[in-house]
Amino acid sequence: MNTEDQIKEMVRQKYSEIALQDKEANASSCCGAGGCSTEVYNIMSEEYDTLDGYNPEADLGLGCGLPTQFAKIKKGDVVIDLGSGAGNDCFVSRAETGETGKVIGIDFTPAMIDKARVNAEKLGFHNVEFRQGDIEKMPVTANLANVIVSNCVLNLVPNKKAVFQEIHRVLKPGGHFSISDIVLTGNLPDKIKSAAEMYAGCVASAINKEEYLGYIHEAGFNEITIQKDKPIIVPNDILKNYLNDEEIAIYQSNPTIIRSITVYAEKKQSCCDPKSGCC
């Protein structure tokens, strides 16, 4: 069994490699895990190129949704992107929050931070910054952000409960998040769940959907809403790396276990003044 530190180091090393690859190499794989499929292109990610702020150099094809599309970002908002990679969601968020807002990307892979900073410099964005850090312990003060977004990142983190607690700490009262992530709706075969490559492929560290939503509720959020839910179909030539023909047949005979969800939730407003009746 891998420890949390071992899993983190595994992900860090893999995403350091991914930072040096092009989008085609990343998106044709399991969320950037390597050139593991010849059957499909873009197993999980969705196309950003119709969204304002999209920058091709920042798109590594690593996502599993479009959280910024659902994030209700307003002009002047402070937005934090968890696992910001080369800056793709940050730049799309910046188009929404404008020059009066601020966007902070957090990533624990130095190579990704370097790549994102280069992209921001090329674009001349002075209200977008990138901080290296662990999203289980974010390098930001409490009650800072109006909106938090994240795209196919929390599933890679061993301690998801801690991340949602941190999100609650960092959001302003009345703030909200929109997060796209991979969850499970059944039992994933052990051979897939324990495969090291799949940890960096957005699958093996995914947890049950109800458990995932439970962590959000336990952290104190309300108005929890599934904004999008879609199945993730893993191609046969990926499955063959982990399962034999009989196991593949059993796996495919069940309803789709691996799903991409985009989930929204709000941090409750602070009580202003008991005399006003807002409590």
Extents of the domains making up the chain: 4-266
**Bridge partners of 226?**
263
pLDDT digits (tens, 9 = 90+) for 220-236: 999 999 999 998 887 78
Outline where DSSP puts E strands in the chain: 78-82, 102-107, 128-132, 145-151, 171-184, 221-231, 258-267
Q: ∠ CA(143), CA(221), CA(7), 5° rounding?
A: 85
- For residue 59, what is the DSSP state? -
Retrieve residue 124's tokens. Answer: 């001349």
Residues 6+ apart with CB under 8 A from 104: 78, 79, 80, 81, 90, 128, 129, 130, 131, 140, 145
Intervals of the chain under pLDDT 50: 1, 27-42, 273, 276
Supply the pTM of this predicted model: 0.83
Q: ∠ CA(50), CA(55), CA(56), 5° rounding?
A: 90
The pLDDT value given to residue 21? 57
Length of the chain (residues):
279
pLDDT digits (tens, 9 = 90+) for 36-89: 444 433 456 666 777 788 787 777 777 788 999 999 999 999 999 999 999 999
The Cα-based distances of 107 to 114, 115, 129, 133, 275 in angstroms read 10, 11, 11, 6, 43
Count other Cβ atoms within 10 Å, centred on residue 39.
12
The pLDDT value given to residue 210? 97
Alpha-carbon gap, residue 211 to 161, rounded angstroms: 10
CATH of domain 4-266: 3.40.50.150
